[in-house]
Amino acid sequence: MHWSSKEKLFPQLLETYYLGGMASGVQPKVVIERAALLQPDLIIKTFDDEFPLLTVNEFVCMKCAQYCGLPTPNVWLSDNLEHYIIERFDTDEHGNKIGIEDYATLMGKSGDKKYLGSYESILKATAINTQSIHEVEKAFSLITFNCLIGNGDAHLKNFSVQYDSDMTNISLSPVYDITHTIIYPTVDKDMALKLKKSKTYPNRKDLIDLAFDAGISRSKAGEIVDNMAQNIQQCIQDIAEIEAMPNLKQSILDHLSKVMTHFPMVSPYRHKKRKNTNNPTFTLRNTLRCLIFLFILSGYVKPNLTTQSRQFMSSK
């Protein structure tokens, strides 16, 4: 998007469209309602001194989400990097409102409690409200993307479902409000919600366990995680706009490598304990085995007469 005037665009938009509605959230943003039939409603965001170049950050993250196959609205970045524009997805092509509910509302929580919850509960709420394992997989993919990209602000209000006017066709809405928050020193390095009762970022195994507990096979979950990690890495290498924000590429790569730490799967069988060779029972048992074997070799005990011996040995 190009803005040719020397005056700042955002203050003019704020003055013109403020009565039309300010969108919620901490990032300065304003809603531009449709001015013509073919012009979609837009949300325009800028940034402040606390979060410099947040516009670039969110644009890059949304493009990575798109590259990973997640449903995303159209987004643009202004030439001067001051404005990030999102096409609204809560209206159809005719201007009719599409029903959308965020997960705080679905779980009966007020907006000020949007950080009180878990990613396990998001998958459960998705299963209950959509009755679709496909939608659960989509929700898991979005959770995985937020973990891999380093978005520490993926709270309950940043997950939504949409539905038709007759309350049918309930599905996950397009993704929104995704940024790599770890790069900002004023933001803590934990996640917005808990996973395994902790807000520490998970590793690959934790994500696979999360999916498995929600009814997704481990092989499918591993495929989702691995493909998404590879796509993020490829996208940030290809997208030119990422260079406009110093250290953004390296910060994402560093975080991605931490999450993708591979841990071996835990065997369902109990590991054999190291035998204590000083145990008298162990010593006696092995002595008897050796004597029986020697007797067989020497001919004192014929193999067809060692039924009790074989039973003794096989029971140990």
Question: How many C-alpha atoms does 30 have within 13 Å on its Cβ side?
Answer: 15
Instruction: CATH number for 9-259: choose from 3.40.50, 2.60.40, 2.20.100, 1.10.1070.
Output: 1.10.1070
Question: Strand 84-87 to strand 99-102: parallel, antiparallel, or no bridges (unpaired)?
Answer: unpaired
* Residue 42 structure tokens: 């837009």
Q: Is 146 helix (H, G, I), strand (E, B) or coil?
A: helix
Residues forming beta bridges with residue 118, ordered by sequence position: 194
* Residue 3 structure tokens: 């803005």
Candidates 157, 190, 146, 161; CA nearest to 99 is: 161
Please state at what angle helix 133-149 crosses helix 54-67, rounded to 10 degrees: 140
Q: Which tens digits make up the pLDDT trace of 123-146?
A: 999 999 999 999 999 999 999 999
Q: What are the structural domain ranges in the chain?
A: 9-259, 280-314
Q: Are 197 and 158 in contact (CB under 8 A)?
A: no
Contacts of 159 (CB under 8 A, 6+ apart): 102, 103, 122, 139, 142, 172
pTM above 0.85, yes or no: no
Q: Which tens digits make up the pLDDT trace of 179-233?
A: 999 999 999 899 999 999 999 999 999 999 999 999 999 999 999 999 999 999 9
